[in-house]
Amino acid sequence: MDCVTASPAISPITRCYLARHCDVANPDGVLYGHLPNFGLSTKGRQQGAILGSYLAGSDVRAIYSSPLQRAQETADLLAQALSPTPPILLRPGLVEAEFGRYLQGTRYRDVIWRKPRWWVHMVWPGLVPGDESMGAMAQRIDQVIAEGLRDHLGGAFVCISHGDPIQAFWATSDDRLPWALHRLQCAKGGLLELQYRGQELTAKTYRAPQELAAALAARETVPSAVADPS
């Protein structure tokens, strides 16, 4: 009698959309870090609507969000655009980089002379007091993603975070050195599309906000009817 060996089950594909919060109302042009009362701008709300429409039909089962206001407002816009409406789950692991506390309240133009630790952070994050290493930021993002992979196997979920933590995850997944943190730029309202088989990351694609808008416009375009030559 022939013995047939069953092949091991193949893990289903799960998708994570790791998005940066949308544009922020910031009339004084300061670095807002962990400060409260920095919500989305009109542009940011438009970006949030585009993100939601882009993700419609993607089987998003949950939205994990940084607890900061700008991220929660982005999560709310996404949830409103999706059906069925996914739960919004706040996760401290998605919060802004710890170094943001050192910079917050400073105008962009003043950082280079008022905040000297910034120079070191740009070269090698994690070396100065109050800074996180790139690996530490990537690890906390990875922990939230691991929760989503466990709870939404075969579906999709969204994680909404901030520039440095997302770029730390991105650079780490590319096996780059810490100085690469700021060479990769995830724009506000942009996202990384991550594909996992089981716990293994198998594909990663960055989508800039303008690319999301273009893809959505192309999706919504209906080809015009060809006129009858007769």
For position 228, what pLDDT does the model report?
47
Neighbours of 95 (CB within 10 A): 20
Q: Are 19 and 70 in contact (CB under 8 A)?
A: no
Residues listed for the chain: 230
CATH of 13-216, one of 3.40.50.1820, 3.40.50.1240, 3.40.640.10, 1.10.1060.10: 3.40.50.1240
Per-residue pLDDT of the chain (230 residues; tens, 9 = 90+): 445 444 556 889 999 999 999 999 999 999 999 999 999 999 999 999 999 999 998 999 999 999 999 999 999 999 999 999 999 999 999 999 999 999 999 999 999 999 999 999 999 999 999 999 999 999 999 999 999 999 999 999 999 999 999 999 999 999 999 999 999 999 999 999 999 999 999 999 999 999 999 998 898 775 544 444 43
For position 9, what pLDDT does the model report?
67
For position 220, what pLDDT does the model report?
78
d(CA 170, CA 123): 17
Domain boundaries, the chain: 13-216
Provide the Cα torsion 71, 77, 81, 86; round to 10°: 50
Structure-block tokens of residue 224: 């015009």
Q: Are 65 and 75 in contact (CB under 8 A)?
A: yes
